[in-house]
Amino acid sequence: MAEQLQQLILDTLDTQSTLQDSRALKIPGQSSPASSHDAQITILGALNSLLSREMITYETHEVSSHVLTPEGVQIVREGSHEARVWAALPERGGAPLSAQDLKRAVGDEAAKVGQGRAFKSGWIAKEGNGFVKAVSNITDTTHTELRELESSGTLVAGEKALAELRKRKLIIQRKGQWFTVHKGANFSTSIAKPETDLTVDMLTSGSWKKSTFKKYNFDADGIPTSGGALHPILKVREEIRSIFLEMGFEEMPTGTFVESGFWCFDALFVPQLHPARELQDTFYLSDPSTSLPPPSDYYERVAHVHEHGGYDSIGYRTPWSHEESHKLLLRTHTTASSAAMLYKLAAKCRGEDIDGDLSAKSQPGAANLSDDGFRPAKLFSIDRVFRNETMDATHLAEFHQVEGVVADRNLTLADLIGFMRTFFRKMGMKNLRFKPAYNPYTEPSLEIFAWHPLLEKWVEIGNSGMFRPEMLAPMGFPPDVRVHGWGIGLERPTMIRYGVSNIRTLVGHKTSIENVENSPAVMF
Ligand code: PHE
């Protein structure tokens, strides 16, 4: 087809030397009129192909034309709404037609629009509860104009009438083009298919000297280059990370996907018989299956507070199991890393010499003898955790936790709540509710709910609390030091943000790489 059209253009030029108006071409095998928009687009393709071989040149002319909307087409067939209303009514003196009967006669839409217009033109009048004709004949200009447009593409009445019909959405304007075509430098009536590649054969045989080569089209769009793209979850992670950083938080190292039962649970005062530690909730490692021993003094203190209590606590009073504590597992929460960081933060309070820096206590003549070595800290992490979950649309066996921890003297629950309000406001959640909850390592504990403006409901977004003395005291923190923390998931805000209802379209083998590459950045 394309070649036939090109041939037709060349043959026409051969006899006429210039093709004045491309709308006069009858495209082979196409039924729509040559003046139509689609036909001219097809012709443009053929012209560009011939132009690239310099067989022709052409000029473009812009035109604007009008086409009827479906409503416009209906009016050409049946008359304008107002004319149909008028026609349905009896002459004056006859029994008036009620509004309901009028609707029945011409349809709801025509009755609604037509009644108003017919009144305005003085075609109809109200009589009692119904309508009658006010004049005995009418001129349906809308109908005649649309008919004229449909057959000739223009209106003698001019732009004002066209504008009115456009406003009534009976016609729409279409910009179009047509072309004047001339012979080009390489004009010929036979289309030799140009070579697209210079081959070894052409070089050895010398046939390249007589070949015509297709010109490079430097205006063609290139193939989009594919580069790396952040996964939506990582985009949300970056945004949350920047919130923590602007609030003065420091990022914790969280590379330890594998932890011991000690750091994941015992250090956090999670009882050794706690259900979360069971096989159906936690993934344990079989090889290697046990961890290196934790720092011995600290280990002793933790074992003691579990078994016998201390620091004003009665403990759990159940036998301590070394085996349970030494088990290796995939961490079930990033609070395992928080615990390790807090233990490190308390090093100076324990009088330990870290990084070659003498602790305040052991330094002779240290400026402040009452300095117990404690320094306040604001820490955060965003990383992966693992749970032996039954997977469904909203649960996976591995996901990400966002966690913030603040350590300072005499912190209160109000400080925790205040902090979370500021933090979540920055994430776009202004309306928060807190519900008392239970965690083995925090008291009090609070579940966090946020009013979600997109979902228009309260959604549980996280968990928080004040870390227990049974956890902090064995680390060596002075008694006036309080630590509070909160944790949220990363997947849920991501799913809400990107309107994803099934986690498996976001994570795993069903994820579309294209979606990942095209998903927009997030700003809370
Ligand atoms: N570790 C808790 C969880 O997995 C979150 C949390 C962190 C709670 C810190 C209190 C303090 O849900």
Residue 279 is predicted with a pLDDT of 86
Which of 137-141, 255-259, 340-344 has the lowest average pLDDT? 137-141
Q: Rounded CA gap, 304 and 297, in Å?
A: 11
Q: Rounded CA gap, 307 and 36, in Å?
A: 89
Cis upstream peptide for 194 (omega within 30°): no
Of the two residues 144 and 36, the one the predictor is more confident about is: 144
Residue 361 is predicted with a pLDDT of 44
Q: How far is the CA of 405 from the centre of ligand 1 (A)?
A: 10
Summarize pLDDT for 494-508 with one digit per residue, the tens.
Answer: 888 888 888 888 998
The top-scoring range by mean pLDDT among 15-29, 186-200, 237-251, 367-381 is 237-251
Q: How far is the CA of 464 from the centre of ligand 1 (A)?
A: 6
Residue 465 Cβ inside 6 Å of ligand 1? The answer reads: yes
Q: What is residue 110's three-state secondary structure?
A: helix
Contact partners, residue 401, CB within 8 Å, separation at least 6: 333, 334, 381, 382, 383, 384, 385, 487, 488, 489, 490
Stretch 431-451: mean pLDDT, rounded?
A: 95
DSSP states along 435-450 = EEEEETTEEEEEEEEE
Summarize pLDDT for 203-234 with one digit per residue, the tens.
Answer: 999 999 988 888 788 888 988 887 888 999 99
Of the two residues 454 and 360, the one the predictor is more confident about is: 454
- The number of the ligand 1 atom at minimal distance from the alpha carbon of 467 is 11
pLDDT class for 284, splitting at 50, 70, 90?
very high
| Residue 437 reports pLDDT greater than 60 | yes
Residue type, 20: Q
Q: What is residue 379's three-state secondary structure?
A: strand
Residue 335 Cβ inside 6 Å of ligand 1? The answer reads: yes
Contact between 81 and 114 under an 8 Å Cβ cutoff? The reply is yes
Spell out the alpha helix ranges (H) of 433-482: 469-475
| Residue 403 reports pLDDT greater than 70 | yes
- The number of the ligand 1 atom at minimal distance from the alpha carbon of 403 is 7
Residue 489 is predicted with a pLDDT of 93
- Mutating to test ligand 1, I would choose from 335, 338, 443, 491 the residue with most ligand atoms within 8 A of its C-beta, which is 335
Residue 184 is predicted with a pLDDT of 93
E strands in 134-222 = 171-183
Stretch 32-49: mean pLDDT, rounded?
A: 84
Residue 365 is predicted with a pLDDT of 47
Q: How far is the CA of 287 from the centre of ligand 1 (A)?
A: 28
- The number of the ligand 1 atom at minimal distance from the alpha carbon of 401 is 4
| Residue 2 reports pLDDT greater than 90 | no
Q: How far is the CA of 267 from the centre of ligand 1 (A)?
A: 14
Residue 28 is predicted with a pLDDT of 78
Contact between 468 and 442 under an 8 Å Cβ cutoff? The reply is yes
Residue 159 is predicted with a pLDDT of 86
Q: How far is the CA of 375 from the centre of ligand 1 (A)?
A: 23
Residue 522 is predicted with a pLDDT of 83
Stretch 267-284: mean pLDDT, rounded?
A: 94
| Residue 442 reports pLDDT greater than 50 | yes
Contact between 416 and 441 under an 8 Å Cβ cutoff? The reply is no
Residue 360 is predicted with a pLDDT of 44
E strands in 100-142 = 124-127, 130-133
Summarize pLDDT for 320-329 with one digit per residue, the tens.
Answer: 999 999 999 9
| Residue 363 reports pLDDT greater than 70 | no
pLDDT class for 150, splitting at 50, 70, 90?
confident
Q: Rounded CA gap, 506 and 489, in Å?
A: 14
Residue 500 is predicted with a pLDDT of 86
* Token pair in block for residue 191: 């289309």
Stretch 297-311: mean pLDDT, rounded?
A: 97
Produce one character per residue of 227-239: b if its CB has 16 or more CB atoms within 10 Å, e if not.
eeeebbbbbbbeb
Q: What is residue 342's three-state secondary structure?
A: helix
Q: Rounded CA gap, 165 and 459, in Å?
A: 51
The top-scoring range by mean pLDDT among 169-173, 215-219, 303-307 is 303-307
pLDDT class for 335, splitting at 50, 70, 90?
very high
Residue 454 is predicted with a pLDDT of 73
Residue 12 is predicted with a pLDDT of 93
Residue 32 is predicted with a pLDDT of 64
Residue 129 is predicted with a pLDDT of 85
- Mutating to test ligand 1, I would choose from 268, 333, 448 the residue with most ligand atoms within 8 A of its C-beta, which is 333
Of the two residues 289 and 128, the one the predictor is more confident about is: 289
Question: What is the average pLDDT value for the chain, to the nearest integer?
Answer: 90
Q: Whose CA is nearest to atom 5 of ligand 1?
A: 487
Q: Give me the phi and psi of 178, to 5 degrees please.
A: -140, 170
- Threshold 0.75, pTM exceeds: no
Q: How far is the CA of 463 from the centre of ligand 1 (A)?
A: 5
Residue 79 is predicted with a pLDDT of 93
Summarize pLDDT for 76-129 with one digit per residue, the tens.
Answer: 999 999 999 999 999 988 889 998 889 998 998 889 889 999 999 999 999 888
The count of other CB atoms within 10 Å of the CB of residue 206 is 8
Residue 366 is predicted with a pLDDT of 46
